[in-house]
Every structure is written in C-alpha cells, then in structure tokens.
C-alpha cells in the first residue's frame, strides 16, 4: 500500500522547511529508518529517516523547495504491508485566541505531541502532524519573516501572501503598503510607516559563467547577515594585543594538555578573557527584546564559536563557558568543531549563544569588521599572531602581536563599553596570570 510521509513539526515555531538534499530517488528500495532527506529550518538542519520500508514511489518537493509542515514530502509503497490509516489529523480553523504570545499559532495535535520520524510508533502508528495551511486565519510565515514584520511595525495578518501554499514572504513584508491610517490627527499608526523597498537585482549574462542556486545553509547565512546589518547599528573598535606571555604559557602547557588528550590552542584563553570582560560589562552579554522593548542582560555565558563548515559559516555554542576550565573549553571547542565539519552538529549545539567569537586561525589576517550574530550585542574577531616590531622600554623589539576587533550594536551599547571591554580582554591576555586569578 502507499504510505504518505508528511513534513513533521520538527521544532517550536517551525512552520516549514527547505529541502536541502534528498538521500534517495524515486524507484529506490529503502529500509526502516534509512536517511531520506535533509531539511533546513530557521533553527537547524535535520536529517529525516524513513518511517517505513518499501519503495520510493513519488517525491513531491525537490531540492531547494519549501515544504510547509503538514504537507506530503514523499510517498512510499510498502511491499506486503497491512493497510493502516496514518494517524494524521486535519485541523479545523482555529479561533483568533489560538495564537500564542510569540505570534506562532498554537494548534491541536494528534496524540498530544508530534514525534520525530525516527520515533514512529511500532505497530503501524504513523507520525501525527498538523496541517499548517488549513486556516488562513493562522498566518503561514517563518519566524524570520514574523520578526521582520514586527521590526517594520507591520501587522502580518494584513499582508497578502505570494509564497507557495499561502506563505507570507519577506518580500511581501517589505513591499506591504497599508491603507490610509484612520488614527486621529497628530497620532501616528505603526502600521502606517512605509516599509523600505528592495528591488531584486538581475545580473545580466556577460560570458561564460556558472549559476548556483542560493539555498540551504548559504541562503540562511545570507538572510541572517542581511537581517543583522539592516537591524543592528554596527560599530567596530580594534585593539592590538601583545600575546608574547600567552604564547610562552601555551608552549609550557602543551605537554600537560597532550597527556590529557587535549590539543591546546589560543581560543580557550580568549574565551576565558571574554567571559571575564562580559561580567564587568554585562550590556555586551545582552539582547534586545523588540516585542517588549526590553534590554535582556543575560547572567549565563554561552559563547558562540564561528567556524567554517563544509556548507558555510556555522556558529557552535560552548555552554556555560564561565564554569569550564581551559582544558575543558579546549575539548568542547574541538568536539563542536568536528561536529560542524562533519555536518552532525545538533540544533542545540548551534543555537542559544549570548556572545560570539570568530576566528580564521592562522589565516586570521590583520583586521576585520565582524557582522553581529544577531540578536547578540557584540562579536569579537580574532586575527593572526605574528612577530612584529614593538617599542618596549625605549627599545624596538620583536613581540608576538595580534589584533582583536569588536563589533557592537550601538543601539544597546556605546563606544566606551566596547573599548573598556576590549581593554579588559587585552589586560588578561597580555598577563595570563591575572586571567587565572579572575576565574571562578
């Protein structure tokens, strides 16, 4: 019999997923729990396993296409299977009160909660999903699109959708023009503010070229960077760091680290120095809650490490960095880096950072202006360490120098805050003994 595999609800607030890559093709024989497809949401990339064994009969969404939650992804012919009705429910239109405070619809579900594909119930129980397109009263839009609408003061329910299956797109939000405001004279309506126009740029063909679809992680990076630049007010400050003492300390500690199976580099020390600086300048370990207009100063320190993966830049998260030793930080950074390079990092390992460090290691260059990992307030860029001339006690000597650059959201912090934070980091890195005194 034919089994229809629906796009599952794979995360809070997720209403759709982009098909990154199919692992199978029509006509393929597949086994239970065999990887079927990679799907990317606003939160992470996940691999969906097959809930049935059989033959792939029909693939309904191609690579690069968007599949809403509740739509059929693929049809599987089960050889010799006993006919079973999938436990998929059709949801009636929800009343306006069924929307949660975060703007995402709260829908009823079969069996209380949707289970991942790999956790299909034995004995024929299929994955229960909601029909994300059953009601036009519940607007279909990604969290990023909803966030943009809030930033522009636009009521998303008033926007005419142009995306597939009635989805409101970011272009719909930017191009929205409200009707004439009905507010009293002298009173401005948030919805009446004009949204900025963005006309897509067409690139004419000018010779031999290659055209690659913008999708998957690269598309998410593009959207995230554009949102950061167009929302936060960036400024960058640069400081030169004399790493000579830390270079010597690392050389002395490498042997002991090796005995513990740790490959010691400079990032753990920079993380420790950054955490100490954040405790003194908490406005840099914060975020702006735009829905409530509150500055949220976070008392926990989840440090993002931006690194290049096989599909592009990814930010893995070292949680509770303030509670970890140098060796423990080194192990965790290495573990997360391997997961990013292998493409096996989980959503929890790629989300939730409060402050980010970006580094290209030995290719770190001299200077960069990092783009904020929105909605964070600050990010530091680590540049290469190299012998350079410096003046010490009136003499020109060779020192191991490195530049650190910090980009800060000027909406929440001032130049003074960024400079003082980096001065604290500089003092700790230049005299590592004081860093260990600061540790808690």
**Active-site positions?**
410
Contact yes or no for 141/160 (Cβ under 8 A) = no
Number of H helices, E strands in the chain: 9, 17
Residues 440, 437: Cα–Cα separation, whole Å:
8
Q: Using the 8-state DSSP alphabet, how is residue 414 labeled?
A: -
Candidates 238, 231, 229; CA nearest to 421 is 238
Distances (CA, A) of 166 to 5, 73, 108, 317: 21, 17, 20, 35
Residues 348, 151: Cα–Cα separation, whole Å:
26
Four-point Cα dihedral 189, 190, 192, 197, nearest 10:
170
The two three-digit tokens of residue 9, written as one number: 């609800």
Residues 427, 440: Cα–Cα separation, whole Å:
18
Q: Using the 8-state DSSP alphabet, how is residue 360 labeled?
A: -
Contact yes or no for 436/253 (Cβ under 8 A) = no
Distance from the Cα of residue 286 to its chain's centroid = 17
Q: Using the 8-state DSSP alphabet, how is residue 325 labeled?
A: -
Q: Which helix (H) or strand (E) holds 18?
A: strand 16-22
Work out whether the CA dihedral 94, 95, 100, 104 comes out positive or negative: positive
């Amino acid at each position: 019999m034919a089994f229809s595999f629906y796009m599952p609800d794979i995360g809070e607030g997720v209403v759709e997923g982009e098909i990154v890559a199919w692992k199978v093709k029509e006509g393929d024989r597949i086994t239970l729990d065999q990887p079927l497809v990679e799907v990317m949401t606003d939160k992470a990339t996940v691999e969906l396993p097959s809930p049935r064994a059989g033959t792939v009969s029909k693939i309904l969404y191609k690579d690069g296409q968007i599949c809403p939650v509740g739509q059929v992804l693929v049809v599987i012919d089960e050889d010799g299977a006993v006919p079973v009705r999938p436990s998929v429910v059709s949801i009636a239109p929800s009343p306006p009160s069924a929307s949660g405070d975060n703007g995402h619809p709260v829908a009823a579900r079969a069996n209380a909660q949707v289970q991942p594909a790999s956790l299909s119930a034995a004995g024929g129980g299929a994955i229960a999903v909601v029909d994300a397109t059953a009601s036009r009263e519940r607007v279909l839009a990604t969290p990023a699109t909803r966030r943009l609408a809030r930033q522009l003061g636009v009521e998303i329910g008033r926007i005419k959708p142009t995306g597939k299956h009635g989805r409101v797109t970011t272009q719909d939000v930017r191009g929205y023009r409200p009707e004439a405001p009905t507010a009293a004279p002298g009173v401005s309506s948030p919805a009446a503010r004009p949204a900025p126009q963005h006309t897509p740029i067409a690139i004419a063909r000018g010779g031999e070229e290659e055209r690659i679809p913008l999708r998957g992680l690269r598309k998410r990076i593009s959207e995230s960077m554009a949102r950061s630049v167009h929302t936060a007010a960036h400024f960058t400050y640069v400081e030169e760091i004399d790493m000579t003492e830390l270079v010597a300390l690392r050389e002395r500690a490498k042997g002991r680290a090796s005995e513990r199976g740790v490959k010691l580099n400079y990032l753990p020390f920079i993380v420790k120095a950054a955490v100490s600086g954040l405790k003194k300048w908490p406005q840099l370990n914060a975020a702006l809650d735009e829905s409530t207009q509150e500055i949220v100063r976070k008392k926990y320190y989840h440090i993002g490490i931006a690194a290049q993966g096989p599909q592009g830049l990814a930010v893995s998260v070292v949680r509770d960095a303030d509670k970890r030793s140098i060796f423990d930080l080194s192990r965790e950074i290495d573990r997360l880096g391997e997961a990013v390079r292998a493409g096996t990092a989980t959503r929890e390992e790629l989300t939730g950072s409060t402050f980010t460090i970006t580094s290209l290691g030995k290719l770190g260059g001299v200077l960069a202006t990092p783009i904020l990992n929105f909605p964070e307030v600050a990010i530091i860029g680590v540049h290469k360490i190299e012998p350079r001339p410096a003046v010490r006690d009136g003499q020109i000597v060779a020192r191991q120098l490195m530049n650190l650059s910090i980009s800060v959201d000027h909406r929440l912090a001032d130049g003074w805050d960024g400079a003082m934070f980096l001065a604290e980091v500089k003092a700790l890195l230049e005299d590592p003994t004081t860093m260990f005194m600061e540790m808690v």
